[in-house]
């Protein structure tokens, strides 16, 4: 048997995410011991696993096969709406729309509560600007703040706002009294999710949001029915929101804020190939409505007559 050329797991060491997770657990444990009076101070409060430096590797650029364009996103949402009407699972299309049209993460969308929807919000100029307050996420029975610990507001398009209003009207009849946008049955009686749920100290009367496993189970047939020729995940819809917005000319800074990235550098590194020069999206949209010659007519007999339609003279 030939010896493997790759490094062993021990030689490679732990991944950066694993180190950060274990270090965060140790720091929180020591902080809890300090509050309980077991130790006088937390020795890890000002320390970090990399010696105090902020070690950040550049994010990898997104592969085009992992996102959807505008036509593909519309196709999947249409299939989800058709399947939802037939199987009485109306939340499927709403969940996909929240990721594809608002850029929410999978756990953020599932953990939304009815009070997070501000569909009647208006700006200081009294213009309707519906929005969603993203302030929690759910992962294996743990309900916590969004990534990087920062809540945010995301914009709601007119199509998504109308879809949410229709779904809310259905939810008030089908699930009266629920606080969740996607109410679930709660974790199973045993397992890691149940243990995390019980340690969280949540009121059982408030129930729980739909579980990740259940949501993936219902999303899988929709993606298979779309038959896009590649394997997609729920995160592909969040990618689609970003790539479509950038293709349409939105700025990197706006997209970064909507996505909840740490900073605009991450957005540039991952989605930079879809970014457009400032204003190009609006320019392309305007040019598509104009009857502009596709080639130069300079030196041809019909040049003067053709260009005169646009108030252009070759002699001036």
CA distance 106 to 83: 20
Tokens of 273: 């190939």
**With the C-alpha atoms ordered 225, 258, 158, 117, is the resulting torsion angle positive or negative?**
positive
Residues 96-113 have pLDDT tens digits of 999 999 999 999 999 999
Distances from the Cα of 268 to the Cα of 154, 253, 315, angstroms: 19, 9, 45
Bridge partner residues of 154 (DSSP) = 132
**With the C-alpha atoms ordered 186, 220, 154, 256, is the resulting torsion angle positive or negative?**
positive
Strand residue runs (E) in the chain: 117-118, 131-134, 137-139, 142-144, 152-155, 183-184, 208-209
Q: What is the pLDDT of residue 1?
A: 47
- How many CB atoms sit inside 10 A of residue 109's CB? 28
CA distance 265 to 62: 14
User: Where in the chain are the domains?
Assistant: 8-55, 64-232, 289-316
What is 141-187 written as a DSSP string? TEEEPPGGG--EEEE--HHHHHHHHHHHHHHHHHSTT--BSSEE---
Q: What is the pLDDT of residue 191?
A: 60
CA distance 97 to 163: 9
| Phi, psi for 128 (deg, rounded to 5) | -60, 125
Tokens of 141: 């029975």
Residues 151-187 have pLDDT tens digits of 999 999 999 999 999 999 999 998 888 999 999 876 6
Q: What is the pLDDT of residue 11?
A: 56
Longest dimension (CA), the chain: 93
**With the C-alpha atoms ordered 295, 300, 302, 303, is the resulting torsion angle positive or negative?**
positive
Q: Which residues of the chain fall below pLDDT 50? A: 1, 9, 53, 55
Fold of 64-232: hpI Integrase; Chain A (1.10.443)
Q: What is the pLDDT of residue 119?
A: 94
């Amino acid at each position: 048997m030939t010896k493997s050329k790759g490094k062993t797991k021990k030689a490679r060491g732990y991944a950066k995410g694993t180190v950060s997770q274990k270090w965060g657990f140790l720091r929180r444990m020591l902080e809890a011991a300090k509050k309980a009076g077991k130790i006088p101070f937390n020795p890890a409060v000002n320390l970090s696993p990399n010696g105090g430096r902020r070690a950040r590797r550049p994010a990898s650029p997104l592969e085009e096969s992992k996102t959807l364009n505008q036509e593909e996103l519309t196709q999947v949402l249409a299939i989800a709406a058709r399947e939802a009407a037939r199987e009485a699972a109306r939340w499927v299309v709403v969940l996909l729309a929240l990721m594809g049209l608002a850029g929410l993460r999978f756990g953020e969308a599932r953990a939304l509560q009815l009070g997070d929807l501000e569909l009647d919000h208006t700006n200081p100029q009294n213009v309707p600007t519906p929005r969603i307050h993203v302030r929690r996420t759910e992962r294996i029975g743990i309900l916590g703040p969004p990534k990087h610990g920062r809540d945010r507001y995301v914009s709601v398009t007119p199509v998504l706002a109308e879809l949410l209003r229709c779904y809310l009207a259905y939810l008030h009849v089908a699930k009266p009294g629920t606080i969740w946008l996607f109410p679930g049955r709660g974790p199973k009686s045993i397992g890691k999710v149940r243990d995390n749920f019980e340690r969280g100290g949540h009121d059982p009367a408030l129930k729980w949001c739909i579980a990740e496993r259940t949501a993936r189970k219902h999303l899988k047939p929709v993606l298979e029915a779309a038959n896009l020729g590649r394997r997609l995940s729920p995160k592909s819809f969040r990618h689609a929101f970003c790539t479509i917005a950038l293709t349409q000319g939105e700025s990197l800074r706006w997209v970064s804020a909507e996505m909840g990235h740490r900073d605009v550098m991450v957005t540039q590194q991952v989605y930079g190939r879809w970014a457009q020069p400032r204003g190009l999206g609006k320019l392309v949209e305007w040019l598509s409505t104009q009857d502009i010659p596709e080639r130069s007519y300079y030196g041809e007999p019909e040049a003067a007559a053709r260009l005169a339609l646009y108030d252009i003279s070759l002699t001036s």
